[in-house]
Chains A and B, each alone.
Chain A
């Protein structure tokens, strides 16, 4: 079955540090890949997505590139801010009909000033 594995947290960084959160997936076919973010006390928000190999999703300074050869979709940001503190979820959808998203276990990021 489809699955998503992301790095264990928590991740603690100083402001302006470089962020990488690793995500790899297992899926049949060619899934769409997503990063969702959950700020404290809130629901999930779509951060970025990529729908085919070599696509780069980007939003709010975050980027992730769909790498079919390594089945990865790592999230990166060049300079994190305190306001980026949240839980980040990698997810996939196999795009067949009404399939739901399959989520990784989430990575908590804390950015300190």
Chain B
């Protein structure tokens, strides 16, 4: 009965590879987000989707491409991984009109070697 789930929990890969992180929420929320947490624990928004449409795209390299097949899923695909992409990536969701209260997934720790 997990509210916001992410897979995988850990991802170790070589520089230059392409990888995806999946996020699913079973809360019936319309809005989903991806955040990046760097090694100093600083959290920053990457993307926001509302009902499968991209709403916010912060200054993120275009190697990062979010994909929302339906409003319960927001996957993050990363091309040509770089060392600086190593971080913990968090997915979150919120109800329409209540986007100030967000529910976070457990995070995916990405390590690029």
Question: Which among A61-69, A76-84, A95-103 touches the partner chain?
Answer: A95-103
Q: Is A74 an interface residue (CB 8 A)?
A: no
- Size range of the interface on B? 20 to 34
Chain A facing B: main interface SS: strand
Q: Is A17 an interface residue (CB 8 A)?
A: no
Q: Is B66 an interface residue (CB 8 A)?
A: no
Tell me if B41 and A43 are in contact (CB < 8 A). no
In the complex, what distance in Å separates the CA atom of A30 from the CA atom of B42? 24
- Size range of the interface on A? 20 to 34
In the complex, what distance in Å separates the CA atom of A107 from the CA atom of B24? 29
Q: How far is the CB of A52 from chain B (nearest CB, A)?
A: 12
User: B: which residues have CB within 8 A of A?
Assistant: 4, 31, 33, 35, 40-45, 48, 50, 55-56, 90, 92, 99-107
Top-4 shortest CB links A-B: A93-B100, A100-B45, A103-B43, A106-B41
